[in-house]
């Protein structure tokens, strides 16, 4: 465990660590009703027609068995690495989830509309309650890196392991279909569904069906389960992950609608993770119940015998996986910058070539505007901001300088004289929530055209009146290419009204191909610079400096 200083302990290890799972009663009743109906149907069938026959896979010698048998070395290695990457994804995913511990089937994320929450708290109505306030603690024994407000590093591990998961899956599927092994897990006849039901009837009525020797083949229910895990859960997990990318959703809104919306995709992503976890629990239980030593030899050594060596090697492999969890925990807290840079070295060039090239082209209407929009960030406490807020920011002057030929100071009226443009867009927070709002302001390309950055200026830094999580002035940076994309605004209005103080007055940035923390609120000044490395700790923003967020968060 980590010994925090006072500032970090207040953030990561709060006194209130209560945990509660609440599920909307209608959904709980619906899911329970489906399960109860299936079990009741099984009991009725047995009462009316008797226990259905389940033929066992013949226990015959390999040399006269017609189908594929045994577990080649590539199957065994893919099995191990898949176990490693899936457990790492689950652990890091749980840390990400707890930063906004609510799941919805609507993109507005209005408190009370969630179908499940992992917090005992309801959002209070008598005071400002930000999305940061709503985050919950998770034990590092369960999540990577664990504790509270560690989503930056959790995302590092999640995306690193996604690459391992994808690589393992591609290797497995290619080798599966270039050998006879595909016949083990791909149903080749609709009859398999009927046979799978017959197996389920046995389990549902507390009878164990004839158990085949998995070295030679699976029963129908096992075959369907393996098929779903490989070809449904894996594919859906990746597809719904992409549907949470602001760069993708704000360029192709139809893609998120395939899953019912951005938040529905997030919910399905969670349910897929739960499916992997449930399969893992049932899978391990059945391995133990149906001959642990023999089953371990199958998947560890590729032999069909009772030698205990498979168990020993299997336990050693599980130990390696647990050591990887421990190593990830250690790196997260003692070498976090190295982890951040390792991910950046892969992600940043790749995103520049792919996701960052997508131009936002959203098409939302007034009726799509969310009735609630989560506030976030620390409201400014500076006296100068408070004085300006009292008179509606009439004496506010935006200072734009740095590496520009024409430094300026502009009032809100001066800015709006360039012509206010409005866009209805979806906001994507790194914590997981979203919201649709109409933003009005001046396109950033007009300001850039006015101030005329010098050739050496590649980045614009936006400084806030507000503070960052650990104190110090909040700032973030954007490269000039993103600032000139469609729908990129210096916003002075929200939903047809002057920008509210809670949401960033006098000015906030809108960059619709990125996550919300890059859209600085309560903007005080803008400075054009050669590189983000010249500011703060050189990572591109206060969240990047202190919480190890991404420099370019297109996903």
Domain segments of the chain as ranges: 6-15+71-179+218-355, 361-547
Residue 368 burial (10 A CB sphere; 0-12, 13-18, 19+): middle
Query: In this prediction, what percent of the chain has a pLDDT beyond 70?
Result: 98
Query: In this prediction, what percent of the chain has a pLDDT beyond 90?
Result: 89
pLDDT at position 21 over 80: yes
Average pLDDT over residues 462-475: 96
Distance CA 15, CA 167 (A): 41
Residues of 345-367 as b/e, b for ≥16 C-beta within 10 angstroms? eebeeebeeebbebebebebeee
Average pLDDT over residues 281-291: 90
Total-model pTM = 0.94
pLDDT per residue as tens digits for the range 228-251: 999 999 999 999 999 999 999 999
pLDDT per residue as tens digits for the range 513-538: 999 999 999 999 999 999 999 999 99
pLDDT per residue as tens digits for the range 88-98: 999 999 999 99
Closest to 463 in 3D by CA, of 549, 530, 522, 546: 522
Region of 464 (left: φ > 0; alpha: ψ -120 to 50; beta: rest) is beta
Measured from the Cβ of residue 31, the count of other Cβ atoms closer than 10 Å reads: 11
188: pLDDT confidence band, cut at 50, 70 and 90?
Answer: confident
Residue 527, phi then psi, degrees to nearest 5: -130, 125
For the chain, give the mean pLDDT: 94
455: pLDDT confidence band, cut at 50, 70 and 90?
Answer: very high
Per-residue confidence (pLDDT) for residue 1, from 0 to 100: 64
67: pLDDT confidence band, cut at 50, 70 and 90?
Answer: low
Average pLDDT over residues 404-423: 96
With beta carbons less than 8 A apart as the criterion, state whether 289 and 281 touch: no
pLDDT at position 32 over 70: yes
Distance CA 377, CA 432 (A): 15
- Torsion angle (degrees, nearest 10) of CA 175, 181, 186, 191: 160
Distance CA 307, CA 299 (A): 13
Distance CA 513, CA 553 (A): 8
- Going through 109-211 in order, the beta strands assigned E by DSSP cover 116-117
With beta carbons less than 8 A apart as the criterion, state whether 460 and 476 touch: no
DSSP 8-class letter at 222: H
> Which CATH class, in words, describes the domain spanning 361-547?
alpha beta
């Amino acid at each position: 465990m980590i010994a925090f200083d006072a500032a970090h302990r207040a953030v990561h290890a709060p006194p209130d660590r209560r945990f509660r799972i609440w599920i909307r009663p209608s959904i709980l009743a619906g899911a329970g009703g489906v399960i109860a109906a299936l079990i009741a149907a099984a009991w009725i069938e047995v009462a009316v027609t008797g226990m259905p026959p389940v033929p066992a896979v013949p226990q015959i010698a390999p040399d006269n068995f017609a189908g594929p048998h045994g577990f080649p070395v590539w199957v065994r290695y893919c099995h191990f690495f898949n176990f490693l990457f899936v457990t790492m994804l689950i652990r890091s995913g749980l840390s990400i989830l707890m930063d906004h511990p609510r799941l919805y089937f609507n993109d507005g994320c209005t408190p009370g509309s969630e179908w499940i929450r992992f917090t005992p708290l309801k959002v209070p109505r008598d005071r400002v309650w930000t999305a940061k306030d709503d985050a919950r603690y998770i034990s590092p024994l369960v999540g990577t890196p664990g504790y509270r407000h560690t989503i930056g590093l959790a995302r590092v591990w999640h995306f690193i392991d996604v690459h391992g998961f994808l690589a393992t899956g591609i290797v497995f599927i290619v080798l599966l279909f270039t050998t006879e092994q595909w016949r083990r897990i791909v149903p080749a006849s609709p009859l398999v569904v009927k046979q799978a039901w017959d197996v389920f009837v046995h389990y549902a009525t507390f009878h164990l069906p004839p158990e085949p020797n998995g070295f030679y083949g699976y029963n129908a229910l096992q075959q369907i389960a393996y098929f779903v895990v490989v070809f449904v859960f894996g594919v859906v997990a990746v597809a719904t992950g992409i549907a949470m990318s602001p760069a993708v959703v704000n360029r192709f809104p139809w893609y998120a609608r395939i899953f019912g919306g951005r938040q529905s995709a997030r919910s399905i992503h969670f349910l897929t993770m739960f499916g992997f976890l449930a399969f893992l629990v049932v899978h391990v239980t059945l391995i133990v119940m149906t001959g642990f030593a023999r089953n371990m030899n199958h998947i560890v050594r590729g032999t069909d015998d009772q030698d205990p060596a498979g168990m020993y090697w299997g336990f050693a492999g599980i130990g390696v996986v647990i050591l990887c969890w421990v190593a990830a925990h250690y790196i997260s807290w003692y070498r976090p910058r190295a982890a951040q840079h390792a991910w950046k070295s892969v992600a940043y060039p790749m995103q520049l070539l792919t996701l960052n090239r997508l131009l936002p082209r959203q098409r939302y209407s007034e009726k799509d505007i969310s009735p609630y929009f989560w506030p976030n960030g620390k409201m400014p406490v500076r006296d100068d901001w408070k004085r300006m807020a009292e008179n509606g920011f009439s004496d506010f002057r935006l200072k734009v300088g740095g590496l520009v030929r024409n430094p300026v100071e502009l009032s809100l009226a001066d800015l709006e004289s360039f012509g206010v443009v409005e866009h209805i867009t979806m906001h994507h927070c790194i914590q997981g929530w979203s919201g649709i709002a109409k933003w009005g302001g001046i396109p950033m390309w007009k300001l850039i055209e006015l101030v005329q950055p010098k050739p050496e200026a590649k980045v614009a830094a936006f400084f806030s009146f507000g503070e960052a999580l650990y104190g110090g002035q909040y700032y973030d940076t954007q490269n000039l290419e993103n600032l000139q994309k469609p729908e990129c605004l210096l916003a002075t209005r929200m939903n047809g009204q002057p920008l509210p103080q809670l949401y960033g007055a006098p000015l906030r940035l809108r960059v619709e191909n990125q996550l919300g923390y890059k859209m600085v609120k309560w903007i005080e000044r803008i400075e054009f610079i050669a590189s983000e490395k010249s500011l703060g700790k050189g990572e591109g923003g206060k969240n990047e400096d202190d919480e190890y967020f991404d420099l370019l968060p297109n996903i």
